[in-house]
Structure 1
Amino acid sequence: MLQPASHNNLTHQLVHELGKAIVREQFAVGEGLPSEAEICNRYQISRTATREAVKMLAAKGLLVSRPRKGITVQSRDHWNLFDPDVLDWILSSTPSLQTLRDFLQLRLAIEPEAAALAARNAEQADLDAIADALRRIKAAEEGIEDPLVADIDFHSAILRASKNPFFMQLRSFIETALKVSIRFTNQFKGVDSASYLDHRKIYDAIAAGDAQLAHQTSHVMEAEALQLIEDRIKG
């Protein structure tokens, strides 16, 4: 049963409940969801809210409605993986090493280039934001700041500083996935927080306007994290 709330909130609660169930394979691909009546009874929600929730999940690629077949579950290759909700459901269901590898491969393709663009395009406010996150990464090593939040803010600030609108719009996706991937990679490294010195190298290159060095230092960091996952998969 969902928590008491307004109609819109109940719809969103149902979206999250069904979305997590689909991602966790509680409904098989190609099979239909329970009937509207069953969902209404199980979650104590109206048919109108149920239909709205189904439409929202279809827009995210998790469901499809076809004549005579009704509403069925879609395979993962149809899901909108850049949707923050979908990504959150995947990552909250204990992601596989393969999923972490796929994400780190994407980071390796994007973040070094974003760092290079930041070295060329960053304004003082952007540099201040990166520097502030870097300061908090150092404080996290001393147990003063939240290491995960500081690390995410550092990478997010670089995406903003790139001034590339496509990179900037990837921020919510990157931030959501970083919450899990950083925790796993730090665990594999045997550390509790990000390396201040490694992040400092990236910041120094960006602040100096050295695009090549910014790209190189960011690439080294992302490649190291990816190699950790690759080694785990092989092992």
Structure 2
Amino acid sequence: MTGSSHLIIDEPAAQLGRNLTYGLLDNIGRAIVTGQFEKAVFPTEAELAKQHGVSRSVTREAVKMLTAKGLLSARPRQGTTVQPTSSWNLFDTDVLRWMLERKLSIDLLRQFNELRVAVEPEGAALAATVAGEDDLARIDAGLERMQAAEHGLDDPLEADIAFHVAILRASKNPFYIQLRDVVSTALRTSIRFTNRIKGRSADVAEHAKVRDAIAARDPDAARIAMRRIIGDVLGLIEDRQPAGE
């Protein structure tokens, strides 16, 4: 912290505390997910505080947050222990990000896109039925960003994500809408992976078919068009499966 202290000296104490907590959360969470504690006893709060140069209160809060994410378990007389992967909250965007960052996992990308194909086509079909003018405008804006990105005028990754998130929002289904952060987080890895294979960004024409079907209030066409996009991604992943883990 010494090298950058002048950058945050005017920051309110409460904000500084949050930054320290989230910084520690990120460090420990990434260490857990990358298996650094697989053959080691998880440190006590006092040991963590000393290792990272933070207060016990910051350490306690970070451990509490990691426990809520399913990565840790704290029990009286047993101390704090790392939980198995099956206990992790995969819908938590931090956990998903750490998992995707630790190693390019073909299996994890496939599983994520299997979730997408179960959700996004139905979200698109719902959007075709219930989307309002504001929703359609957001979908149009996402598609326009994708078109601009093809000419180097926008970020292809962010534009693609904006399009898919706009459709989830347009579904009006609160469960689908709450998946937007998960979809955004995982798409960052998935899109980079598939773009490297294809040597180009997403197929704007195929995405336009989804937009057109939603605007035409045709749920079946919207469902089919979205399924085709994700099916193409799954096909690319399956082709690369032997070269995976």
CA contact (8 A) 2:44 2:80 kept: no
Aligned to 2:226: 218
**1:24 maps to which of 34, 44, 47:** 34
Query: How far 1:234 sits from its partner (Å)?
Result: 3.4
Partner in structure 2 of residue 160 of structure 1? 169
Partner of 1:84: 93
Alignment of 1:177-216 (within 5 A): 177-191=186-200, 193-216=201-224
| Runs of 5+ consecutive residues of structure 1 not aligned to the other structure | none
**Length-normalised TM-score, structure 1:** 0.94
- Letter of the structure 1 residue corresponding to residue 83 of structure 2: Q
8 Å contact kept, 2:109–2:190: yes
Shift of 1:170: 0.8
Q: 1: CA distance between counterparts of 2:49 and 2:140?
A: 50
Q: What amino acid sits opposite 1:198 in the alignment? A: E
Structure 2's unaligned 5+ residue stretches are: 9-15
Q: What is the rounded CA distance, in whole Å, between the counterparts of 1:234 and 1:10 in structure 2?
A: 41
TM superposition outliers: structure 1 runs of 4+ over 4 Å? 1-5
Q: Does the Cα contact within 8 Å between 1:119 and 1:210 map onto a contact in 2?
A: yes
Select which of 21, 42, 45 maps to 2:51. Answer: 42
Give deviations 1:61-115, integer Å, cap 9, x for gaps.
Answer: 0001123321110111100111111112112223310110110000010000000
Query: Which amino acid is the alignment partner of residue 204 of structure 1?
Result: D
Q: Partners of 2:18 and 2:236 in 1: how far apart? A: 42
Q: Which secondary structure does the structure 2 equivalent of 1:72 belong to? A: strand
Query: Does the alignment pair 1:122 with 2:131?
Result: yes
Task: Tell me whether 157-166 or 41-50 shows the greater mean CA deviation.
Answer: 41-50
Task: Give the match for residue 174 of structure 1.
Answer: 183
- Aligned-pair identity in percent equals 52
**TM-score, length-scaled by structure 2:** 0.90
Q: Secondary structure at the match of 2:197?
A: helix
Q: Give distance in 1, aligned partners of 2:139 and 2:170.
A: 9
Give the match's secondary structure for 2:81: strand
CA RMSD after TM alignment: 1.6
Equivalence for 2:12: none
Aligned-partner residue type, residue 205 of structure 1: A
Structure 1 residue 9 displacement after superposition: 1.9
Q: Does residue 28 of structure 2 align to residue 12 of structure 1?
A: no
Whole-angstrom CA distance in 2 between matches of 1:199 and 1:8: 39
1:224-235 → structure 2 map (5 Å cutoff): 224-235=232-243
Query: When the two structures are aligned, how many residues end up with a matched partner?
Result: 233
* Secondary structure in structure 2 of the residue aligned to 1:17: helix
Q: Is the 8 A contact 2:44 2:79 kept in 1?
A: no
Within 5 A, what are the aligned runs for 1:79-158?
79-158=88-167
Task: Provide the C-alpha distance between the structure 2 equivalents of 1:208 and 1:27, rounded to a whole number of angstroms.
Answer: 53
